[in-house]
C-alpha cells in the first residue's frame, strides 16, 4: 500500500519546520530586545544625555562582533555536525546569556554579555533556513521562508510589548526562558535527508576556506553578502536610532525606540508574506528581492526627507520601512540555494551575520559623516551607496527558485 503524498499544510507544519520557525521567534526577540531597552537600560546604569548614542553604538557593535564570529563558527558546525546541533546549541547559548544579562550592574558586563549573546544568536536562523530548504520540496521553499520569517518578526514585536509591560531586566529573563522552553522540542526533530545522505558519503563538509579557494565561488559568496546589506542599514541605523532621527526632523515629543522597532517589524511581517508570495507567483527569488530593494530605497528617502509634524506620521514611516525590509529570509534562502549541501549551512549562517556585522562599519561611517553632513544626509549618503551596491550584486547572482539542492561543491 503506497503512502499518499503530503499536502502543502502537512509539509509546512512538520516538526522541523515549526521548530525552525519558533527558534527564529525567540532569536528575533532576543536580537532586537536591546534596540527596545537601549535607552532605559543605559540610563539605569548611569549613562545620560549625549553619551546615550555612542554607548548604544558600542554595545550594538559588541553584539554584532559576536554575530560575526558566531556566524562562521556555527556555520562550519552546521555542515560538520548537522543542522540540528547548531539549531539547539545556539538557542542554549543565547538563552543563558540573556538570563545573565538581566543581572548586570555596569557597562563592561553589558558589553561582554551582548558579545556572548551575539555569538549564540548567530547560529539559529542559518541552521533553521538550511533545514527548511532541504526538507521542503522546491515548490514550497518560498512558503517555508514566509513561515519562518513571520514567526521571527512576531518575536521582535513581542519584545516591545514585554519591555513595555515589565522592567528591562525582566525582559531579558523572559527571552532566555522562552529559549530554554524551546529546547524541550529538540527530541522530536529529525535531520534533513540531504544532510544524512551527504554524511553517509563521507564528503568533506564545512570547509569555510573552500569559499575562498575558488574565484567564482568567492565572488558568489561576496555578492550574496553585499545583496543583503541594505536590510541591516535600515534596522541597525534608521530604526535603532529613530529617536535621534525624530529629533532631527523637529519633533518635539521624543520618539520611543521600542515602539519604532515594534512597528518596523510588524511591517516586516507583512512584507515577508508579500515577498514570499511574489517569489512563488513569479517563480523567481531575484525579481521579488529587486522590487523590495527599490521600495526600501524609496522609503528611505521619505523617512529622511519628508516633512514630519506628528509622531504618528513618523511611526507610520517606520512601519513602511519595515514592510520594505520584508525580504530578509528570502535573501537567506537564495544564499542557501546558491551553494552545495556540504557548505550550505556555512553559507546560510555566515552570510546573514556578515550582513548584520556590516552595521559596525556602517555605524562608524555614520558617526564620521555626521559632523559634516548631519544626521539626515549622512544616513542618506550611506543608504544610497549600499542600495546601489546591492542591486549590482543581485544582478550578478543566478536565479535559484527551481534549483535542485541535492549537490555538493567540489573542492
Q: How does pLDDT run across 82-118, given as a tens digit for each residue?
A: 888 888 889 899 999 999 999 999 999 999 999 999 9
Using CA atoms, how far residue 352 sits from 71, 265, 402, in Å, is: 8, 17, 22
- For the chain, give me the number of helices (H) and strands (E)? 17, 0
Q: What percent of the chain has pLDDT over 70?
A: 98
C-alpha cell at 165: 509591560
pLDDT at 231 over 60: yes
Average pLDDT in the chain:
88
Q: Which three cell numbers stand for residue 219?
A: 565572488
Helices (H), ranges, 189-256: 193-201, 210-213, 215-233, 242-248
H/E stretch holding 149 reads helix 141-165
Distance in angstroms (rounded) separating the CA atoms of residues 357 and 60: 10
C-alpha distances (whole Å) from 279 to each of 243, 390, 399 are: 34, 18, 11
- Confidence label for 188 from pLDDT (cuts 50, 70 and 90): low
Task: Write out pLDDT tens, residues 39-60.
Answer: 889 999 998 888 887 888 888 8
Look at residues 102, 103, 96 and name the one whose alpha carbon lies nearest to residue 119: 96
Among 44, 53, 43, 36, smallest CA distance to 247 is for 53
Q: Please check whether residue 301 is in contact with residue 320, taking contact to mean a CB–CB distance below 8 angstroms.
A: no
CA-based nearest residue to 39, from 53, 25, 29: 53
In angstroms, the CA 282 to CA 132 distance is 21
pTM: 0.84
> Is pLDDT above 50 for 31?
yes
Q: At what angle do helices 344-357 and 83-101 cross, to 10 degrees?
A: 30
pLDDT at 4: 64
Cα distance between residue 114 and residue 373, in whole Å: 31
pLDDT digits (tens, 9 = 90+) for 314-351: 999 999 999 999 998 899 899 999 998 899 989 989 99
Name the least confident of 149-153, 213-217, 352-356: 149-153
Q: What is the pLDDT of residues 368-404, one digit of tens each?
A: 998 899 889 999 999 999 999 999 999 999 999 888 8
The third-level CATH classification (topology) of the domain covering 11-185+206-395 is: Growth Hormone; Chain: A; (1.20.1250)
Tell me how far apart the alpha carbons of residues 1 and 22 are, in angstroms, rounded to a whole number.
35
Query: Does residue 293 have a pLDDT over 90?
Result: yes
* Other beta carbons within 10 Å of 254: 11
Cβ atoms of 71 and 354 within 8 Å: the answer is yes
Instruction: Say whether pLDDT at 216 is over 70.
Output: yes
How far apart, in Å, are the Cα atoms of 194 and each of 35, 199, 242, 266, 379? Answer: 37, 9, 43, 34, 43
Amino acid at each position: 500500500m503506497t503512502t499518499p503524498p503530503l499536502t502543502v499544510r502537512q509539509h509546512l507544519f512538520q516538526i522541523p519546520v515549526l521548530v525552525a520557525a519558533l527558534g527564529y521567534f525567540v532569536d528575533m526577540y532576543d536580537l532586537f530586545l536591546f534596540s527596545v531597552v537601549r535607552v532605559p537600560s543605559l540610563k539605569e546604569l548611569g549613562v545620560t544625555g549625549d553619551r546615550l548614542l555612542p554607548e548604544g553604538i558600542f554595545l550594538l557593535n559588541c553584539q554584532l562582533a559576536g554575530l560575526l564570529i558566531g556566524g562562521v563558527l556555527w556555520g562550519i558546525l552546521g555542515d560538520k555536525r548537522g543542522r540540528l546541533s547548531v539549531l539547539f546549541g545556539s538557542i542554549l547559548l543565547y538563552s543563558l546569556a540573556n538570563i545573565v544579562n538581566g543581572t548586570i550592574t555596569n557597562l563592561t558586563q553589558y558589553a561582554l554579555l551582548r558579545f556572548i549573546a551575539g555569538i549564540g544568536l548567530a547560529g539559529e536562523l542559518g541552521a533553521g533556513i538550511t533545514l527548511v530548504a532541504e526538507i521542503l520540496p522546491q515548490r514550497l521553499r518560498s512558503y517555508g521562508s514566509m513561515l519562518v520569517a513571520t514567526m521571527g518578526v512576531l518575536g521582535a514585536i513581542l519584545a516591545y510589548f514585554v519591555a513595555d509591560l515589565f522592567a528591562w531586566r525582566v525582559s531579558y529573563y523572559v527571552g532566555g526562558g522562552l529559549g530554554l522552553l524551546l529546547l524541550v522540542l529538540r527530541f522530536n526533530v529529525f535531520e534533513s535527508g540531504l544532510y544524512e545522505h551527504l554524511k553517509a558519503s563521507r564528503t568533506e563538509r564545512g570547509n569555510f576556506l573552500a569559499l575562498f579557494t575558488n574565484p567564482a565561488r568567492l565572488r558568489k559568496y561576496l555578492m550574496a553578502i553585499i545583496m543583503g546589506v541594505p536590510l541591516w542599514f535600515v534596522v541597525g541605523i534608521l530604526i535603532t536610532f529613530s529617536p535621534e532621527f525624530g529629533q532631527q526632523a523637529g519633533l518635539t515629543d521624543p520618539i520611543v525606540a521600542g515602539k519604532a522597532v515594534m512597528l518596523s517589524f510588524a511591517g516586516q511581517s507583512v512584507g515577508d508574506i508579500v515577498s514570499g508570495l511574489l517569489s512563488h507567483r513569479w517563480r523567481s527569488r531575484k525579481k521579488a528581492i529587486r522590487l523590495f530593494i527599490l521600495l526600501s530605497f524609496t522609503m528611505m528617502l521619505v523617512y529622511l526627507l519628508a516633512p514630519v509634524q506628528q509622531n504618528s506620521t513618523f511611526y507610520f514611516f517606520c512601519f513602511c520601512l519595515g514592510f520594505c525590509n520584508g525580504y530578509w529570509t528570502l535573501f537567506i534562502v537564495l544564499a542557501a540555494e546558491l551553494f552545495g549541501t556540504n557548505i550550505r549551512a556555512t553559507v546560510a549562517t555566515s552570510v546573514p551575520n556578515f550582513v548584520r556585522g556590516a552595521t559596525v562599519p556602517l555605524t562608524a561611517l555614520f558617526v564620521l559623516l555626521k559632523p559634516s553632513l548631519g544626521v539626515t544626509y549622512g544616513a542618506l549618503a550611506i543608504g544610497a551607496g549600499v542600495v546601489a551596491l546591492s542591486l549590482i550584486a543581485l544582478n550578478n547572482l543566478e536565479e535559484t527558485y527551481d534549483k535542485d539542492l541535492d549537490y555538493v561543491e567540489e573542492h
